[in-house]
């Protein structure tokens, strides 16, 4: 199937749509079917107060039902304002009903290890079930399902724009009081991780800088590695890999959480490719979460994903080595979620080795870049969802060109690369081939399995507040 530009916004001149009229294809969007309809209308809410698309504002939030088990989760929630499924993140078995009192009720079912996401206005007045194998999140932050309908619950959460990248104000930080073990040197960290079991919290002392040397440490299944980044404005305890050795200092097994720590290396300036190389965190197990961390200075990647994972509310920057230099690189898995992060000065902030899948949403890409910020290598990966991000850097250090591309889809995805509601500071509309447009597909003379619509091009602020990361 072939898709092209369908409905774009811009403050600049328009370009002839070289893919106008191309068919959507009968195969649809893999596990989604929305591309059989016009993409311009797909983003409209099912129900809004006035019957027209509601505009995002400081009052619009996102609610996510995230299955953590093998059975489907049937859910229902009611909101006082407009409710809208996030495109590509609701499986078509959901419905939204307007009630007689002006509220809206959403019902649906999320399959095993899946997720459904909606935006809503106002507040939640009811949610069920209150227990089960799922997590409930609002703007990416875990919320107790039994408490989400209480007025004070949502009021206590900061605006999503205030905690992009985590740090100060991040509401899901792990306090030191939750620690099973507190460590302040490499021997203590190694001993604690070797002896930890599922449910334990190994805590890096907030004042510590732990020198990893040539050690490669593994966080066992079910264990949390934490520190206090953001608590009272704290930077968080640090694990520093001063020597380039092996795969890198931190590896994970299954169901691991890494949160509130700084993981650093000294290679934080642009340099030509050379070996050896290393990564900050190598995710070697399923169901892992990396949140509220700061990662910088690695030659291969800040985060190397051998399996799908959730990476959110983190600051991943200054991993700029030419040839590699990834903020996050997806090697395995089909459902990695990357959201609410700040990226800056990586060669590629999010890349795919060519066979995995990912969703990249609600992120901010800062003003310094070595090359394109998000993309995939050949053969082209599986399903790629890239939406509601803000891409600032237009100049590439490795080429010196300005403007240069933000997104590069090398190869042809098995399913689709769906790119929508992004704010691209590069004013040049997408084009296939190896050019300098905002979105490119270098190895094709026409867009293949790439859809883009409802994006904004140019540095001028979009008039539509639903476009770009939370602001």
In a domain, 27, yes or no: no
In a domain, 313, yes or no: yes
Residues 334, 394 within the same domain: yes
Q: What is d(CA 382, CA 411) in angstroms, rounded to the nearest whole number?
A: 11
Instruction: Output the pLDDT for position 14.
Output: 31
Cα Rg of the chain, angstroms: 22
Per the CB < 8 A criterion, the answer to whether 183 and 189 are in contact is yes
The string of pLDDT tens digits covering residues 213-225 is: 999 999 999 999 9
Q: Quick check: 8 pLDDT over 90? A: no
Task: Give the residue among 264, 344, 328, 272 at the shortest CA–CA distance from 296.
Answer: 264
Domain boundary among 124, 158, 192: 158
Instruction: Output the pLDDT for position 47.
Output: 34
In a domain, 42, yes or no: no
Q: Quick check: 111 pLDDT over 90? A: no
Residues 392, 344 within the same domain: yes
Residues 210, 327 within the same domain: yes
Please state the length of the chain.
471
Helix (H), strand (E) at residue 250: strand 250-252
In a domain, 164, yes or no: no
Segment 132-146 mean pLDDT: 95
Residues 233, 380 within the same domain: yes
In a domain, 6, yes or no: no
Residues 318, 450 within the same domain: yes
Segment 22-37 mean pLDDT: 31
Domain boundary among 158, 189, 207: 158
State which residues form the domain around 121.
59-158
In a domain, 16, yes or no: no
Helix (H), strand (E) at residue 192: helix 186-195
Q: Which long-range contacts (CB under 8 A, 24 or more apart) does 288-291 make?
A: 288/252, 288/254, 288/255, 288/256, 288/257, 288/258, 289/256, 289/257, 289/258, 289/259, 290/257, 290/258, 290/259, 290/314, 291/166, 291/172, 291/257, 291/258, 291/259
Residues 153, 184 within the same domain: no
Residues 194, 104 within the same domain: no
Task: Give the residue among 219, 226, 235 at the shortest CA–CA distance from 177.
Answer: 226
- Look up residue 3 and give its two tokens: 């898709």
Residues 200, 271 within the same domain: yes
Q: What is d(CA 213, CA 130) in angstroms, rounded to the nearest whole number?
A: 46
In a domain, 78, yes or no: yes
Q: What is d(CA 326, CA 347) in angstroms, rounded to the nearest whole number?
A: 6
Q: What is the mean pLDDT of the chain?
A: 88
Residues 80, 123 within the same domain: yes
Q: What is d(CA 441, CA 432) in angstroms, rounded to the nearest whole number?
A: 5
Burial class (CB in 10 A: 0-12, 13-18, 19+), 471: middle
Domain boundary among 101, 125, 158: 158
The string of pLDDT tens digits covering residues 196-241 is: 999 999 999 999 999 999 999 999 999 999 999 999 999 999 999 9
For 409-458, the DSSP string reads: E-S--SSEEEEES-EESS-SPPEEBSSSSSEEETT-SS--SEEEES-EES
Instruction: Output the pLDDT for position 138.
Output: 96
Q: Quick check: 394 pLDDT over 60? A: yes
CATH number for 318: 2.160.20.10
| 174-197 residues labelled b (16+ CB within 10 A) or e (exposed) | bebeebeebbbebebbbebbeebe
Instruction: Output the pLDDT for position 452.
Output: 97
3-state per-residue secondary structure call for 112-150: CCCEEEEEECCCEEEEECCCCCEEEEECCEEECCCCCCC
Instruction: Return the percentage of the chain with pLDDT > 90, whole number.
Output: 82
Residues 223, 269 within the same domain: yes
> How would residue 39 be classed by pLDDT, with cut points 50, 70 and 90?
very low
In a domain, 469, yes or no: no
Strand partners, 216: none
> How would residue 25 be classed by pLDDT, with cut points 50, 70 and 90?
very low
Helix (H, G, I), strand (E, B) or coil at 389: coil
Residues 114, 262 within the same domain: no
Instruction: Output the pLDDT for position 49.
Output: 31
Instruction: Output the pLDDT for position 113.
Output: 84
Question: How many domains does one find in the chain?
Answer: 2
Residues 391, 280 within the same domain: yes
The string of pLDDT tens digits covering residues 341-367 is: 999 999 999 999 999 999 999 999 999
């Amino acid at each position: 199937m072939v898709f092209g530009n369908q409905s774009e916004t811009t403050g600049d001149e328009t370009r002839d749509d070289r893919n106008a009229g191309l068919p959507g294809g009968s195969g649809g969007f893999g596990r989604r079917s929305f591309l059989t309809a016009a993409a311009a209308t797909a983003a409209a809410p099912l129900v809004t107060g006035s019957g027209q698309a509601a505009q995002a504002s400081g009052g619009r939030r996102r609610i996510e039902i995230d299955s953590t088990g093998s059975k489907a989760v049937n859910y229902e929630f009611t909101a006082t304002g407009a409710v809208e499924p996030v495109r590509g993140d609701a499986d078509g078995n959901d419905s939204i009903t307007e009630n007689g009192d002006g509220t809206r009720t959403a019902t649906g079912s999320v399959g095993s290890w899946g997720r459904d996401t909606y935006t809503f206005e106002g507040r939640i007045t009811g949610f069920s079930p209150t227990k089960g194998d799922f997590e409930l999140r609002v703007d990416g932050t875990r919320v107790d399902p039994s408490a989400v309908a209480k007025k004070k619950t949502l009021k206590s959460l900061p605006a999503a724009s205030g905690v992009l990248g985590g740090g100060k104000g991040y509401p899901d930080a792990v306090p030191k009081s939750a620690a099973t073990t507190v460590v302040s040197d490499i021997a203590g960290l190694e001993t604690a991780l070797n002896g930890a079991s599922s449910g334990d919290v190994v805590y890096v002392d907030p004042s510590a800088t732990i020198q990893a040397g040539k050690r490669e440490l593994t966080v066992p299944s079910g264990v949390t590695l934490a520190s206090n980044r953001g608590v009272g404005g704290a930077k968080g305890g640090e694990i520093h890999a001063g020597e380039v050795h092996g795969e890198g200092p931190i590896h994970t097994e299954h169901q691991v959480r890494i949160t509130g720590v700084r993981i650093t290396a000294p290679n934080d300036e642009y340099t030509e490719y050379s070996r050896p190389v290393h990564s900050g965190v190598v995710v070697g197990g399923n169901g892992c979460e990396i949140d509220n961390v700061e990662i910088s200075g690695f030659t291969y990647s800040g985060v190397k994903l051998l399996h799908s994972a959730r990476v959110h509310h983190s600051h991943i920057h200054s991993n700029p080595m030419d040839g590699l230099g990834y903020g996050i690189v997806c090697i395995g898995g089909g459902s990695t979620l990357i959201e609410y992060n700040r990226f800056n000065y990586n060669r590629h902030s999010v890349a795919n080795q060519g066979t995995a899948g990912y969703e990249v949403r609600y992120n901010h890409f800062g003003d310094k870049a070595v090359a394109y910020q998000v993309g995939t290598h050949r053969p082209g990966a599986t399903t790629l969802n890239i939406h509601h991000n803000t891409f600032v850097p237009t100049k590439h250090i490795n080429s010196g060109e300005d403007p240069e591309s933000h997104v590069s889809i090398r190869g042809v995805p098995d399913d689709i690369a769906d790119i929508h509601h992004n704010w691209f500071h590069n004013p040049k509309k997408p084009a296939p081939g190896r050019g300098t447009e905002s979105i490119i597909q270098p190895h094709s003379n026409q867009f293949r399995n790439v859809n883009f619509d409802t994006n904004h091009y140019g540095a001028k602020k979009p008039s539509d507040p639903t476009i770009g990361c939370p602001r």
